[in-house]
Chain A
Amino acid sequence: MRTIISGSVLLKDLNPDFSYFNKNGWNHFVEDIKSIKSDFEVIEADYIAVLVSHETLDLSFSERVEKALFGSEKFVLFVCTLGSIADDLIQKHKDDILKYCISDSLASIYADGVAEYIHHKVVPNYLDNDDKITNRYSPGYCGWDVYNQHSLFEYFPENPCSINLNESALMYPVKSVSGIIGVGKDVKFAEYGCGECTNEKCFFLKTK
């Protein structure tokens, strides 16, 4: 079994979590954030998701990801990108570290917003009524070695959404997200994904 889903979504139609900018100190730069945000909102992000059965999946995971996907009968492998236009928007501010930080952070938030859209708006349309989904996991996070990105990409058509992998398994355009979601009758979605993690080294836990 292998179902390929592809599409695009306008960033202005997403409702990502911008709470990073509610943290201390950003209140003086609301206008800069608003202006850069409006540059990003016109971008149409592309995505491809592939639904595969348990039997056809051959990927190595970290212990944490393996555990989280346990019990999955099917898997959704996905990749999405804001495209090179987002990289250009960030690079435009290369000489202004504040605007560079704002644009890079906004792009990351939007890229995660697209992954969230695939996860909760697109994927459910292709599942059986009693199917449940897990959280999503990406190479490079939760101990899953980024070099597994090469194996993950073998499930997609060549250069999916015009994304290329470099030698270090990094995606270009930079603001791209890839990952896996488990599907099954008995899998669990942890509402606070990072909440259960005890990895004290993790950047995300440290900045929460």
Chain B
Amino acid sequence: MENLLEQIALCIQRGKIDAVTAYPPDMKGMKGAGELTLDALNSGIDANRILSEALIPAMSIVGDLFRENKLFVPQVLMSAKAMSTAMVHLKPYFNSGEIAKRGTFVIGTVSGDLHDIGKNLVAMMVEGNGWSVIDLGVDVKSEKFIEAAQMYPDAIIGMSALLTTTMESMKKSVGDLKNNYPKRKIVVGGAPLSHKFATEIGADLFAPDPTSLIQYLNTNIIIQS
């Protein structure tokens, strides 16, 4: 049983999705995260254990290696794909309440900005950590963030910007949201940002990478059933 969890974790770290995918070349033909998760469930391993002892630690390692420049974008994308393939089999357990969600995270790219690959990757990694993710998409105006804050009262809000020129939109959205919901936690991310900028605009955290975001989220866990 432990071996199955270790194998799932390895598949996620290496980006091995299923038996059909040829990546990574040295695992060609072997079962991937999808089949092994099914095997684990069929052999009676609790869905919660699969999440907390295989998926979460594996993605945490991937996040750390990415932060240390030991893994690169395509490899992280493959790990995220492997993780979401495993998550498909765990979804029914989330829906039934057997696995408790750690909280809700709302994410969107700010107004005037259409970049979404980083945001999508972050969303997948946060979801793989047991959080419910509400993705507002790209070019998201303040009003939409405020609506989401109203709709999901316990949610932490994430905003992304990739252009120096859309950092102003982020400043506006953070300000507008804080004016309406002063205590709401806001995390900002994106290549042009910095801790200094995040502090200046009133955000609660600048997350330079998915790992720092997840670490922060996990200190703010609200178990939802």
Contact = CB atoms under 8 A, between A and B. Distances in A.
Contact of A24 (B72, B77, B81, B164): B72
A140 B168 CA distance: 11
Contacts of B165: 139-141, 143-146
A25 B81 CA distance: 15
B153 interface: no
Contacts of B120: 97, 100
A166 interface: yes
A141 B163 contact: yes
Interface string A23-37: 111101100000000
Contact of A170 (B81, B114, B197): B114
A199 interface: yes
Interface in B98-129: 111-112, 114, 117, 120-121, 124
Nearest to A23: B72
Interface residues on B, range: 35 or more
Contacts of B112: 140, 146-147, 168-170
Dominant secondary structure of chain B at its interface with chain A = helix
13 contacts: A25-B73, A25-B75, A28-B25, A28-B74, A29-B74, A97-B124, A100-B120, A101-B77, A104-B117, A143-B164, A168-B111, A202-B164, A203-B163
Contacts of B190: 203
Given A143-B165, A203-B163, A174 B72 contact: no
A146 B139 contact: no
B77 to A, nearest CB: 5
A121 interface: no
Contact of B192 (A100, A168, A202): A202
Nearest first, the 7 closest Cβ-Cβ pairs linking A and B are A25-B72, A201-B192, A203-B191, A25-B74, A24-B72, A168-B112, A98-B77
A134 B100 CA distance: 58
Contacts of B81: 96-98
Interface of B: 23-25, 71-75, 77-78, 80-81, 111-112, 114, 117, 120-121, 124, 139, 141, 162-169, 190-194, 197
A26 B74 contact: yes
Interface string A88-104: 00000000111011001
B159 to A, nearest CB: 14
Contacts of B191: 201, 203, 206-207
Contacts of B72: 23-26
A144 B164 CA distance: 9
> Which of A170, A199, A207 is most buried by chain B, counting CB atoms within 10 A of its CB?
A170
Interface string A160-203: 00000010111000100000000000000000000000010111
